[in-house]
Amino acid sequence: MAKAKSYYFCSECGYQSSSWLGRCPECGKFGTMQEEVIQASKPSKTAKGNATTGVSKPKPIHEVSTSETQRIPTQCAEFDRVLGGGIVPGSLLLLGGEPGIGKSTLLLQTALAIPGKRVLYVSGEESEQQIKMRADRINNGGETDCYVVSETVTQRILECVDEVKPDLLIVDSIQTICTEAIDSSAGSISQIRECTAEFQRFAKESGIPVLLVGHITKEGSLAGPKVMEHIVDCVLQFEGDRNYGYRMLRSLKNRFGSTAEIGIFEMQGDGLREVENPSEFLLSQRDENLSGCAIAATLEGARPMFIEVQSLVSTAVYGTPQRNANGFDFRRLSMLLAVLEKRCGFKLGAKDVFLNIAGGIRVNDPAIDLAVACAILSSNVDIPIPPRYCFAAEMGLSGEVRPVSRVEHRIAEADRLGFEKIFVSKYNARSLNKKRFGLEIVEVSVIEQAFRELFA
């Protein structure tokens, strides 16, 4: 028997070295090299076949046929939107997310719902009985052509594929899968890298798309080396606050579509439900006439999303005022507070400031800034903002109100939802045809102007 060899792998980039190094020469990170025992056994049949089969010949690009790359629609509009219109044959997708967020539920639900396609759902985490129990819970009642197996070795998974001949392979999760070609334990960097590469080879050669589930580390990145994200065609992330029902599916990388789109779901007792119109949903529980609330007209991808920003400003009890932000970047909050303090003369230095985005939603759109600033000001002076007002503008360091992208889109949606006034930047309003809209468009260029308009 061959002597067990150990190698060192960088947990960040997957760099391999035969000796321990304090700093990875590839990515420059310190203290990331981890030892792994590897025993290269005889190359398996599949590995050998892959190296020699499929002799590729270059051909002119116009001769490459795209007719066979018909996307497989998932029957779930939100999922398809994020994918860019369905699953591309031969692609390798990675779905990441925190434990318990609903990755397995989303994929099993998808597997059960795809019409006329055979799906093989491989789980390394749950037994077949547990998968069946989950499927009963989701209970879509329709005809399904879904096979399940509890398996952790790639070679045996590929044998199952030969037997079942599915149109889609789902593997939950990559961290529990191992290959016989390498002797280290499942979940180690070398295993993850090798298994991902094996699935990629399989997908490209057979044309069967593979959906992998990946775990997330406590820092929030996908567990495993970065090379895994380079290998796969799409990286999707499932996120949300576990205390709320909402879940968002984002795409961090997509070779076949836009990464700006998001899908919104709600976790219910019988699986995930698609949320088509998030604004109406998020605003429905709004209580009128409370100070510290403002509505932001944000865009996620091409879709407008109106969300409520809540803020509480109170006198600081301790010497150092407290600041807390839920669903909003903490450093951005500090910056906005500094702007309000320095440029506009609001004395927030001796106040505690708490900020919350309703519904447990996290927003990346900078157009939320003005709503955040106005919510803080409203709580500070204890005067409510009328419930039919909304805001769409970014704020600059000198207190100027800056334009945002696709403002007509936001205004049109505000109009549709029945808002009376929308606050936008003066520079956005210039090119607008205001007669098109039924609501009043308030142009502001600096934050004091908005303050006077609202609270004076």
Nearer to Mg ion among residue 125 and residue 167 (C-beta): 125
- Minimum Å gap between C-beta 134 and ligand TYD is 5
Q: Which residues bind Mg ion (CB under 5 A)?
A: 104
- Minimum Å gap between C-beta 119 and ligand TYD is 16
Q: Are 24 and 13 in contact (CB under 8 A)?
A: yes
# of chain residues touching ligand TYD (CB under 6 A): 15
- Minimum Å gap between C-beta 175 and ligand TYD is 12
Out of 42, 45, 137, 452, the only residue in the binding site for ligand TYD (CB under 6 A) is 137
Site for ligand TYD in 265-324 (CB under 6 A): 267, 269-271
Nearer to ligand TYD among residue 121 and residue 354 (C-beta): 121
- Minimum Å gap between C-beta 334 and ligand TYD is 32
Residue type, 161: V
Site for ligand TYD in 256-275 (CB under 6 A): 267, 269-271
What's the CA gap between 232 and 332, in Å, rounded?
32
Site for ligand TYD in 107-136 (CB under 6 A): 134
Helix 45-52 / helix 189-206 crossing angle, nearest 10 deg: 50
Question: What string marks each residue from 70 to 109 as x (binds ligand TYD by CB under 6 A) or -?
Answer: ---------------------------x-xxxxxxx----
> Which does residue 270 touch among ligand TYD, Mg ion, none (CB within 5 to 8 A, set by kind)?
ligand TYD
Residue type, 22: G
Strands (DSSP E) contained in 151-277 are 168-172, 210-215, 234-239, 246-254, 262-268, 271-274
Q: Are 194 and 47 in contact (CB under 8 A)?
A: no
> Which does residue 408 touch among ligand TYD, Mg ion, none (CB within 5 to 8 A, set by kind)?
none
The alpha carbon dihedral of 209, 210, 213, 216 has a sign of negative
What's the CA gap between 272 and 106, in Å, rounded?
7
> Which does residue 99 touch among Mg ion, ligand TYD, none (CB within 5 to 8 A, set by kind)?
ligand TYD
CA angle 271, 232, 179 (to 5 degrees): 90
Instruction: Give 182-185 contacts, CB < 8 A, sequence gap 24+.
Output: 182/38, 182/39, 182/40, 183/4, 183/37, 183/38, 183/39, 183/40, 183/41, 184/36, 184/37, 184/38
| Residues contributing to the site for ligand TYD (CB under 6 A) | 97, 99-105, 134, 137-138, 267, 269-271
